[in-house]
Amino acid sequence: MTLLRNAVFAAFSILLMALPAQAQSSAEDLVRRMAAEVTSEVRKNPALVNSQTQLAALVERRLMPRFDFDRITQLAMGRNWPKASGAEQRQVVAEFSKLLVRTYSNALASLKDLDVEVRDSRKNGNDVTVRTQMIGRPKPVAIDYSLSNAGGGWHVYDVTVEGVSLVTAYRDEFNTLVSSSGVTGLIAALKQKNGK
């Protein structure tokens, strides 16, 4: 009986140890896959990087389904999120997503080297941060992806480029806008930016 209990206990502990490791590796796989998909599309069609609309379409198709825009927006709004009504929250999410798609497409256009290398990943509660570097001259660019898995697979909720977090960068702006002209002011500013 003791032996059986020990065996079950051992099996259980192995399972428990294996679980987070597996979670980490599947998050790493997702980042690897996203990078590979974008790289191969750009390699197949190098003229792509010269077309804003084609790039935006690529980003929307390949990357955006893997981003958790609700969470990104929530984090970027921080303490202002609960101040917005449900309808306002949805509007901010929609407009901010548009802005991010454009920012991403523009960033892609300026990248000559697309080789992404996954370095490692760290577990942080239920979240995983996958550290990658983009190989380029004169030095590689460090890009960290923060992912969470709330049931529907891994989704990115922050991207940190060379130590600069996207969410944090926008939070200050959002804060300033909301304190000066309210959530409506923030929505108006996002719309104006997207309209250009």
Give 149's contacts (C-beta < 8 A, 6+ positions apart): 23, 27, 126, 155
Q: Closest approach of Cβ 96 to another protein, in Å?
A: 10
Q: Closest approach of Cβ 155 to another protein, in Å?
A: 15
Residue number with CB closer to another protein (13 or 180) = 180
**Cα dist. 69→13, 64, 109, 114, 183 in Å?**
36, 9, 22, 24, 17
Residue number with CB closer to another protein (151 or 163) = 163
List interacting residues with another protein (CB under 8 A).
Answer: 74-75, 78-79, 81-82, 99, 102-103, 106-107, 109-110, 137-140, 146, 158, 162-165, 167-177, 189-190, 193, 196
Cβ distance 122 to 129 under 8 Å?
yes
* 39 vs 116: CA distance, rounded Å: 9
Residue number with CB closer to another protein (66 or 102) = 102
Q: Closest approach of Cβ 20 to another protein, in Å?
A: 19
